[in-house]
Amino acid sequence: MAIKVHMPTEEPMADLEAPIETGPPVVKMTPQPDPLSKVRVKKSLPARVILPLKIRKTLEGNIFVYDHPLIDIAIMVNTNKILTLPKDDSNKDTYVTQKDFFDFLKSHGLLTLEPFQGGHIYGSMEAAYPTNEEVDSISAILVGIYKFIKNDVETMNHLKYEKSIEDWMTDPEDEDSTELGEVPHAAKKGAIDSKRRPYGLIYRI
């Protein structure tokens, strides 16, 4: 803060013999404003989460997730709907999986209260999701999809078991298989005797 001091000036002496009177100095303080200091406030960014999902975005802006072994999941951004479709190479009934998926999202508050229904594609199901100005709905739904696929252990184990049985029958190990001709052919095979005549012909002869 700066301080200014003003001293009284002496007037010219009218009479040299008159005594000179001097007063105390007058101090006048004039406050000066402090210089403004610049403060920068950094706005905290939301947490970034990287999800290991196979995601594709179409020209229409829709988002497809291909990680589940039975169904493909599509987020229809323009209509605020989630669509599930059976995979082309899937020979399983996917209704139970689709129902479990929508029930999982609804239990986590990611769907509206409207029931899910059949979609416009054969075997597909769809449900509506709400929009929120404070929370990114697409990001929240992707996290829910990732958690469902990760927790769907029953379907994964069932498919692995079926695949192991199929491989055991079509491509067995050496100890479970024999080469052609390794086991000699017997004179009689099976439980049905090929020489036995039909029952009705016995009484005709």
Using CA atoms, how far apart are residues 163 and 92, in angstroms rounded to an integer?
A: 13
| Segment 78-93 mean pLDDT | 89
More confident site: 61 or 195: 61
Helix residue ranges, H only, the chain:
95-107, 137-151, 153-170
For residue range 71-83, list pLDDT tens digits in order: 999 999 999 999 9
For the entire predicted model, the pTM comes to 0.59
Q: How far is CA 61 from CA 5, 49, 56, 64, 76, in A?
A: 74, 21, 10, 10, 8
Three-class secondary structure of residue 5 per DSSP: strand
pLDDT of 169 reads 85
More confident site: 51 or 128: 128
Using CA atoms, how far apart are residues 75 and 115, in angstroms rounded to an integer?
A: 17
Domains in the chain (CATH in brackets) are 55-160 (3.30.200)
| Segment 3-9 mean pLDDT | 54
Q: Using N-to-C axis directions, what is the helix angle for 137-151 and 95-107, rounded to 10°?
A: 130
**Percent of the chain clearing pLDDT 70 (strictly above):** 73
pLDDT of 133 reads 84
